[in-house]
Amino acid sequence: MARRFSSIAFVASDTPEAHEAQVRLQQRYGSVPAETADVLVALGGDGLMLQTLHRFMGTAKPIYGMNRGSVGFLMNEFSEDDLIERLEAAHRSVVHPLLMIAETKDGVRHQARAINDVYMLRQTYQAARLRITIDGKVRMAELVADGILVATPAGSTAYNFSANGPILPLNAPLLALTPLSAFRPRRWRGALLPDYARIAIDILESDKRPVSAVADHTEFRSVTHVDIVMDRSLDLVMLHDPGHSLDERILSEQFGY
C-alpha cells in the first residue's frame, strides 16, 4: 500500500536537544529539503511549531511536531522509533490564520497574520482607550484597559486563557474577544464572536496613550486603527497522533488535565 508521505524534511529549534534529535532522525529516516518534502517534522516546542506554520504558510504542507522544547501543547510526544508508522496514522487538524491590518500614526498600513492571536497592548504607563466595532457597528464606544486580544480556537489556550478568556474547541466557528486588565467597563469579560466577524479597533488618544498591535510574533508600534478578520484562503495543517489530536488537547485543558 502506498505511503501517505514519501519524503520527509526535519526542522529543529535552536537547542542542543532539538539539534541532536534532528541529526539522529535524519540519519535513520533520510531527509529532503523542506521546500520539496511531503511532510515536515518539527522538533522543538510550540514556538517552533508557530514559526514553521508561518514559514510555510500558503503551501498547505502538513507539519508533525515532536516535543523537544519547554512547551509542547501543539506537539506530539518525542520518540525516534516508528516515525513512518506514526506519520501514516496521524490525524489532520486544519486551522486558518487571522489577518491583521494595522495603521500606524504615520499613515502607513501594515499587514501580518496570526495563528494564535492578535492583540493591542499599551506602550506606556497609561491605560489604552479603545473603540470596538464589529461588522461596521460600534459595540463599545470606549474600553479603558491594558489592551484587547482576539484569539482563534487554536490560540485560545495561550495568552487568551492567561487573560481569563474562554477555551474554544478547535472546530468551533468562533473567535474570543478578551480584554486585558479592563478598567472600564470594570465587569466586562469579553465576547464570543462568529469567526466570520470583521473586527475593527480604533485607538483613542493615540498620541497621549500609544498602543502596539501584535500578530503572533510580529509587532507594530504606535497604531491608530486595526482591522482583524479570519483568512479562510489559507489552510494550516498540523498532524497529531491518534488520541492526542488538538481537539482532544483543548477538551482536556478545559477539565484541568
Query: Using alpha carbons only, how large is the chain's radius of gyration in Å?
Result: 20
- Burial level of 249, CB count in 10 A (0-12/13-18/19+)? middle
User: Which one of the listed residues 14, 38, 46, 106 is annotated catalytic?
Assistant: 46
**Cross-strand partners of 143:** 130
Contact 196, 103 (CB under 8 A): no
Q: Is 46 a catalytic residue?
A: yes
- Going by their DSSP bridges, the two strands 63-67 and 236-240 should be labelled as parallel
Cell numbers at residue 220, please? 507594530
Please, what's the b/e burial string for 166-195 (b: 16 or more CB within 10 A of its CB; e: otherwise)? Answer: bbbebebebbbbbbbebeeeeeeebbebeb
- What is the Cα–Cα distance from 188 to 180, expressed in whole angstroms? 10
Q: In 3-state terms, what secondary structure has residue 135?
A: coil
Cell numbers at residue 45, please? 516546542
- What is the Cα–Cα distance from 170 to 151, expressed in whole angstroms? 12
Contact 199, 228 (CB under 8 A): yes
* Residues 6+ away with beta carbon under 8 Å from 49: 42, 63, 65, 74, 75, 238
Give the residue numbers marked as catalytic.
Answer: 46
